[in-house]
């Protein structure tokens, strides 16, 4: 019997920056999904999904499986391994369980795909030991590339690698493990559905248009290298709202850089973590409009109960938020629940692993 477990994730710094090519700092959390199973004596793959009262069946094959459903992740995970040359001659029966909030910005689907690909790689006729980064990259292909979806690789890499990780995406994907030595967080679901399309219109496309406008005046403009102090020269060519949007984007970039140096130098304090998270959230709320009144009430209640700071997590417009609460996190969780959230005390956790 084989069991594979993978965490969900939060984005500490760099939220809504990865699709601009900018780096992020993400962290795996102690809410996980696991797959437990063994071989069968026939060619059937039977996947039990008790959390959603469902079951999926398919058959092993030496060729790619056709997709039957929208976002057919179990078949796409199988297909990326077939493309890698792995082969399966025995059936498999397994059960999927998890406690990661679903559709709430904590990467439940990415964690599921990392788990499934990791599980299949060990159940193949010739089991293959992928690195954690390779598992994340394969899950990205299975979730994003196979279905021509928008999205970056942060979720897949951070859930696969685990702990806290600094991720760069340009000029190539690189991952640097961090050792931040942080205490407890409280993750809380607003129970509001995410307005992903509306958020992307405000947060992504408006800034992509802004970058193109700036390049008409500064052809070599890059968010990676542009000095924040030089933004004054763009006041004459940008509207007031555009200038504020640029300023916020640059500040969030600089917040991440500040946090990264503190983590690398083992100089980060609890108070500084909280302050940087809250500043990051303020920009996401005020300039990108991705928060909601309920999430603001949840954050305020958490701060009043002793949390040191926090932010929305994921695309926003609903979904989850989290706060850093190394002191008495249970009190903070109760305060969030009292204003309508559903909270979980969490800690930074390991990446995908065999149990």
Instruction: Convert the pLDDT of each residue in 26-53 to its tens digit.
Output: 999 999 999 999 999 999 999 999 999 9
Which residue did the predictor score with more confidence, 105 or 285? 285
Q: Tell me what percent of the residues of the chain surpass a pLDDT of 70.
A: 98
Residue 301 burial (10 A CB sphere; 0-12, 13-18, 19+):
buried
Average pLDDT over residues 156-176: 93
pLDDT given at position 113? 97
pLDDT given at position 149? 81
Q: Poorest-confidence range of 24-28, 56-60, 124-128, 234-238?
A: 234-238
- Joined together, the tokens standing for residue 271 give 């108070």
Q: Enumerate long-range contacts of 233-241, CB under 8 Å, 24 or more apart.
A: 237/213, 238/210, 238/213, 238/214
pLDDT given at position 6? 98
pLDDT given at position 19? 82
pLDDT given at position 104? 67
Q: Is 17 left (phi over 0), alpha (psi -120 to 50) or beta?
A: alpha
pLDDT given at position 197? 65
pLDDT given at position 289? 86
Domains and CATH numbers, the chain: 2-181 (3.30.230.10), 186-346 (3.30.70.890)
- Joined together, the tokens standing for residue 292 give 């909601």
pLDDT given at position 135? 98
- Please say whether the beta carbons of 137 and 157 come within 8 A: yes
Confidence of residue 263 (pLDDT cuts 50, 70, 90): very high
| DSSP assignment of 63-130 | SPPPP-STT-HHHHHHHHHHHTT----S-EEEEEEE-SPTTSSS-HHHHHHHHHHHHHHHHSSS----
pLDDT given at position 260? 97
Closest CA relative to residue 314, chosen from 6, 15, 13, 8: 15
Average pLDDT over residues 327-355: 97
Backbone dihedral angles phi then psi of residue 321, each to the nearest 5 degrees: -130, 170
Alpha carbons 15 and 316: distance in angstroms, whole number: 10
pLDDT tens track for 81-125? 999 999 999 999 999 999 988 776 778 899 999 999 999 999 999
pLDDT tens track for 288-321? 888 999 999 999 999 999 999 999 998 888 889 9
Mean of all residue pLDDT scores within the chain: 93
Sheet with strand 342-346: strands edge to edge: 309-313, 320-324, 185-189, 342-346
- Please say whether the beta carbons of 263 and 25 come within 8 A: yes
Confidence of residue 352 (pLDDT cuts 50, 70, 90): very high
> Which DSSP category does 18 fall into?
G
Alpha carbons 122 and 103: distance in angstroms, whole number: 28
pLDDT given at position 105? 73
CB within 8 Å of 172: residues ≥ 6 apart: none
- Joined together, the tokens standing for residue 216 give 């008409």
Average pLDDT over residues 59-76: 95
């Amino acid at each position: 019997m084989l069991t594979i477990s993978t965490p969900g994730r939060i984005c500490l710094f760099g939220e809504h920056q990865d699709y601009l090519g900018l780096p992020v700092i993400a962290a795996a959390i102690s809410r996980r999904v696991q797959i437990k199973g063994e071989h069968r004596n026939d060619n059937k793959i039977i996947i039990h999904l008790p959390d959603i009262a469902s079951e999926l069946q398919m058959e092993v094959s030496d060729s790619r499986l056709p997709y039957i459903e929208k976002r057919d992740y179990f078949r796409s995970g199988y297909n990326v391994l077939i493309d890698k040359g792995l082969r399966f001659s025995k059936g498999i029966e397994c059960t999927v369980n998890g406690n990661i909030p679903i559709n709430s910005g904590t990467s439940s689907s990415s964690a599921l795909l990392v788990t499934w690909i990791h599980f299949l790689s060990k159940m193949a006729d010739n089991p293959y030991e992928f690195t954690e980064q390779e598992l994340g990259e394969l899950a990205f292909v299975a979730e994003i590339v196979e279905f021509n979806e928008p999205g970056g690789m942060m979720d897949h890499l951070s859930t696969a690698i685990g702990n806290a990780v600094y991720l760069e995406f340009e000029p190539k994907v690189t991952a640097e493990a961090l050792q931040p030595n942080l205490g407890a967080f409280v993750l809380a679901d607003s129970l509001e559905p995410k307005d992903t399309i509306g958020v992307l219109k405000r947060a992504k496309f408006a800034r992509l248009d802004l970058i193109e406008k700036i390049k008409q005046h500064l052809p070599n403009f890059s968010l990676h290298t542009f000095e924040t102090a030089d933004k004054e020269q763009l006041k004459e060519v940008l509207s007031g709202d555009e200038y504020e949007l640029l300023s916020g984007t640059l500040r969030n970039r600089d917040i991440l850089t500040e946090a990264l140096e503190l983590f690398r130098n083992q100089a980060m304090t609890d108070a500084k973590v909280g302050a940087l998270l809250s500043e990051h959230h303020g920009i996401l709320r005020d300039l990108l409009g991705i928060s909601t009144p309920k999430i603001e009430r949840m954050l305020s209640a958490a701060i009043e109960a002793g949390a040191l700071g926090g932010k929305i997590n994921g695309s926003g417009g609903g979904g989850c938020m989290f706060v850093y609460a190394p002191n008495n996190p249970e009190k903070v969780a109760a305060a969030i629940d009292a204003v309508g959230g559903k909270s979980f005390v969490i800690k930074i956790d390991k990446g995908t692993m065999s149990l």
